[in-house]
Structure 1
Amino acid sequence: MSNKSLTALVSAFARVYHSEQYEATIFKDSLARQLMTEQEYDTISSNMCKAIQFFQPDFTGSEQEALRYVVNNQLSPSPLGRSSFTERALQQAAVLGARQYLILAAGYDTFAYRQPAWAEQLSIFEIDHPNTAADKQSRISRLQWDVPANLQLIAADFNDSSWTQKLLANTHYSTSARSFASMLGISYYLTKEAFSELLTALANSMPAGSSVVFDYPDELTFTPQAGSRAQKQVMMAASAGEPMQASYSYLELESLLEQAGWLIYEHLTPAEITDQLFKHYNENNPQHPITAFDNVNYCLAVKR
């Protein structure tokens, strides 16, 4: 990532498009639009329209119909579903006593700037690659947004084990306060060894009863048995310079988490994600249904 994460910017675009196009949504991000420039939004829109033949070779329709197809089928399902899953779990964790929220690979996440009343009791830590973090902060400064009093910013590379030192060095962070961590879109881009080390480091930095939520590609992702959308996503990530590194079976993930000190509390497959998280949207937008992304599962784990 020489400048900023392209996948993070495309994810932000997907949240913007969904929030602006539909009244009933899977996940509504009221601030993401402001973080993007008009040129960025228009460029991504144009590129996705042009890519329709890659995603759906036999597609016929207008440019706007092509854009809707690409966004709803390829871009939106993961960013919307995992954000909905995460913030639902975060609210429950806060009710049960969580006092710290760690957003690993925060990208252009806007939670800290649109936080509901129940989140005011949380100390929020955005942790991201220095380049992406710097780019986001330049956008925040341009918008002249007030930085929330409960937000801390930490620049770190998760491929470098020293990231935990930066977290622990922050005087606002407490190793004894029950915490909730989100690691959305991370597992794809780390080797299995690096992901295991990340989970272990996180467990060592948080007390018992803390939680972590993440999405991950299943064991079929890199095989011919993967869904067509998953196969295209692997190609897209590689072409963006951020190739996917690993995938996991449920049993493999369960073992990896247990070794790191975590127990699976909730786990959703694509069919369950569509049924539980996309139901409200689909009932209200039957002409433009969205299904959870192929071969991607969600996991909520609790530290023993």
Structure 2
Amino acid sequence: MKNKSLTALVSAFSRAYHAELNQLKIFDDSLARQLLTDEEYEGIAGNMSQGIAFFQPGFVGTQEQALRRVVDHQLSPSPLGRAAFAEQALEVATVHGARQYLIFAAGYDTFAYRQPEWASKLQIFEIDHPATADDKRRRVAALNLDQPSNLHYISADFSEPDWQSRMLDSHAFDLSVISFCSLLGISYYLPKDVFKSFLSAIAKLLPSGSSIVFDYPDEHTFTPQAGERTQKQVMMTARAGEPMQASYSYAELEHMLEDVNLLIYQHLTPAQITGQLFQAYNDSQPGQPITAFDNVNYCLAVKR
């Protein structure tokens, strides 16, 4: 955590690649490419295309075809699907009164800079480790983008016991306001007790009716029953120095959420994610469909 997150950079690359390459998109992150330098973009692209033998042994094709296969099959399903799910849920929550959007471990999220008209009702908080937050701000500054008036940065190390004080110190943060929280890409990298404590701390900060969206690996993730993509993802994150540490059954997750005063409002399995979020794109690209990542579910929970 002392350096910028490699997985966050790769996620930004996958969103950028998808947005640049396709007319009809699963999720359109129109700014992701601008946050990456040409050297970073081309470096990640080269590494991934050269790794085709690891991802899909026996593949035959050009380097560009190899890159697309790796991105569509391995890299982009989770960043695209969970972002689409989260922002759809955020819009609904805003209609029902949410007025704060808390993006935990924001990484290179670009929502605040491409926010639609309905988001003007929101105060948006990007909350991340100082190293990644500082790097994100440096990249945004280099683009000469105007900072939206409703955007607030909060640097916080979630491994420190008093990280909540960083939020409370923000003059814009209001404990009484119904909020929508994004915890995308977090549950994988925390031990179960730490993730539960993290959820509990967030829930205690917010009023009833607030919601939390997150993705999580299912109970087969670290077993031989895991899909081939999942097994390779576990190896990749370990090699990147950000190993995955936990997985959950639905029953286990439901019980954990109830313990911290949260109830599951919406839950999608990989088959449901593909059917609900990827179908329009797949209909437009019948020869190159994208399927939701194996063993990864999405959850929207609401505070009682």
Q: How far does residue 145 in structure 1 lie from its aligned partner after superposition?
A: 1.2
Q: How far does residue 57 in structure 1 lie from its aligned partner after superposition?
A: 1.0
Which residue is 2:234 aligned to?
A: 234
Letter in 2 for 1:87: E
Which residue is 1:47 aligned to?
A: 47
Which residue is 2:94 aligned to?
A: 94
SS of alignment partner, residue 154 of structure 2: strand
Which residue is 1:179 aligned to?
A: 179
SS of alignment partner, residue 212 of structure 1: strand
SS of alignment partner, residue 266 of structure 1: strand
- Residue 166 of structure 2 corresponds to residue 166 of structure 1: yes
Structure 1 CA distance for aligned equivalents of residues 3 and 193 of structure 2 = 26
8 Å contact kept, 1:9–1:108:
yes
Letter in 2 for 1:151: L
- Percent identity for Structure 1 against Structure 2: 63
Which residue is 2:294 aligned to?
A: 294
Q: How far does residue 161 in structure 1 lie from its aligned partner after superposition?
A: 2.6
Which residue is 1:68 aligned to?
A: 68
SS of alignment partner, residue 121 of structure 2: coil
Structure 2 CA distance for aligned equivalents of residues 5 and 119 of structure 1 = 27
Which residue is 2:253 aligned to?
A: 253
Equivalences for residues 192-211 of structure 1 within 5 A:
192-211=192-211
SS of alignment partner, residue 8 of structure 2: helix
Which residue is 2:213 aligned to?
A: 213
Which residue is 2:123 aligned to?
A: 123
**C-alpha RMSD of the superposition:** 0.6
Letter in 1 for 2:190: L
Q: Which runs of 5+ in 2 are unaligned?
A: none
- Residue 280 of structure 2 corresponds to residue 280 of structure 1: yes
Structure 1 CA distance for aligned equivalents of residues 286 and 229 of structure 2 = 21
Length-normalised TM-score, structure 2: 0.99
Structure 2 CA distance for aligned equivalents of residues 162 and 229 of structure 1 = 37
Deviations 1:160-181 (A, max 9, x none): 2312111111111111100000
**Count of aligned positions:** 304
Structure 2 CA distance for aligned equivalents of residues 200 and 16 of structure 1 = 33
Moved over 3 A (4+): none
Q: How far does residue 49 in structure 1 lie from its aligned partner after superposition?
A: 0.7
Structure 1 CA distance for aligned equivalents of residues 299 and 28 of structure 2 = 21
Structure 2 CA distance for aligned equivalents of residues 236 and 20 of structure 1 = 25
Q: Which runs of 5+ in 1 are unaligned?
A: none
Q: How far does residue 116 in structure 1 lie from its aligned partner after superposition?
A: 0.3
Structure 1 CA distance for aligned equivalents of residues 145 and 25 of structure 2 = 25
Structure 1 CA distance for aligned equivalents of residues 258 and 130 of structure 2 = 30
Q: How far does residue 137 in structure 1 lie from its aligned partner after superposition?
A: 0.7
Structure 2 CA distance for aligned equivalents of residues 169 and 289 of structure 1 = 46
SS of alignment partner, residue 44 of structure 1: helix
Q: How far does residue 287 in structure 1 lie from its aligned partner after superposition?
A: 1.2
Deviations 1:69-110 (A, max 9, x none): 000000000000000000000000000000000000100000
Structure 1 CA distance for aligned equivalents of residues 157 and 50 of structure 2 = 33
8 Å contact kept, 1:159–1:190:
no
Deviations 1:1-43 (A, max 9, x none): 3320000000000000000111111000111111000000000
Structure 1 CA distance for aligned equivalents of residues 128 and 74 of structure 2 = 24
Q: How far does residue 289 in structure 1 lie from its aligned partner after superposition?
A: 0.2
Length-normalised TM-score, structure 1: 0.99
Structure 1 CA distance for aligned equivalents of residues 161 and 198 of structure 2 = 8
Deviations 1:183-233 (A, max 9, x none): 000000011011001100010000000000000000000111100000000
- Residue 155 of structure 2 corresponds to residue 155 of structure 1: yes
SS of alignment partner, residue 120 of structure 1: helix
Structure 2 CA distance for aligned equivalents of residues 15 and 95 of structure 1 = 27
Letter in 2 for 1:250: Y
Structure 2 CA distance for aligned equivalents of residues 171 and 63 of structure 1 = 50
Which segment is superposed worse, 99-108 or 138-147?
138-147
8 Å contact kept, 1:98–1:179:
yes
